[in-house]
Structure 1
Amino acid sequence: MEWQVDGMVPVYTKLYKSTVTFNEALGYAYDALVHAASFDAMGAWKALSERVKQGIYMGEGLLLPHTRISGLPQPLMAFAVCPAGFSGIEIRNNEKAQFLCVLLSPMESATAHTQVIAGMAKRLLDPEWKKKALAVMCDEDVKLLF
């Protein structure tokens, strides 16, 4: 089975107008994903937590906690922007984490997983997209980025 992931729209988008902790932002994003599809929420949370321990900073200001879930019908993504930066998480070289993308992908499709990650990287490597993302004014503007 193939999914249309290039034009994927997050099921949850959020703009944080001031600094927020990574854990708080992750909690809200994950809660939205849990309510968007049926899957083993506790098992997925444990897998996501393990991934966070391994490191989730991808560069260009992106935190990307992600995992693959057995039986998930399609990828689920939540995306948040925090121009002031997420606090409570250590990243390299004192860079500022300003974007959070929480991704759950079907275990059965490594392709879907890597395509969504590649799509996020492509966006964040585009200086115009990144500038536009950091200038959003509301949650709906975040969704319109996709």
Structure 2
Amino acid sequence: MLPLYFKQYSASEPFSRALGFAYDALVHSGVSFDAHAVWNSLSERVAQGIYMGDGLLLPHTRVKGLAEPLAAFAVCPDGFAGVNTRGNERAQFLCVLLSPAESATAHTLVIAQLAKMLLDSEWKARAIAAKSDEELKSLF
């Protein structure tokens, strides 16, 4: 999985703003889906809680008719502001994931790939230290 959007924030960023930019990139990616319906579904998921641990915020939803997963990835070393985490952990990673509703496997595989990267302390350190969107993209 190669995200379609990468963003490296140099200072703390409000979660809602980062989510908006990431989602907008997916909407304008050239892949057709009902942006309003998917936003509503994504918003419901956010309300249920999206902190996965290890600094990862994972707003995700399944999209009917989507051919393959779409993802947007952002890193904020200072942490995304305005989002709840367990134990007040710093949420430094954001992955907005839209997966085909018809394929639970595709959804699970992307999450597994993401988890593998974030559990690799060397990869995680390089992602946090990246100085540009392009440098972050190169890690994928």
Question: Same fold by TM (over 0.5)?
Answer: yes
Give the equivalent residue in structure 2 for 1:30.
Answer: 23
For structure 1, the residue ranges without an aligned partner over 5 or more in a row are 1-7
* Paired-residue identity, %: 65
* Aligned equivalent of 2:91, options 89, 93, 97: 97
How much does 1:15 deviate?
A: 0.4
What's the TM-score, normalizing by structure 2? 0.98
Alignment of 1:1-146 (within 5 A): 8-36=1-29, 37-146=31-140
Cα-Cα RMSD: 0.5
How much does 1:73 deviate?
A: 1.3
- Structure 1 CA distance for aligned equivalents of residues 8 and 85 of structure 2: 21
How much does 1:56 deviate?
A: 0.4
> What is the one-letter code of the residue matched to 1:112?
A
Q: 1:44-86: CA deviations, max 9, x gaps?
A: 0000000001110000000000000001111000000000000
> What is the one-letter code of the residue matched to 1:10?
P
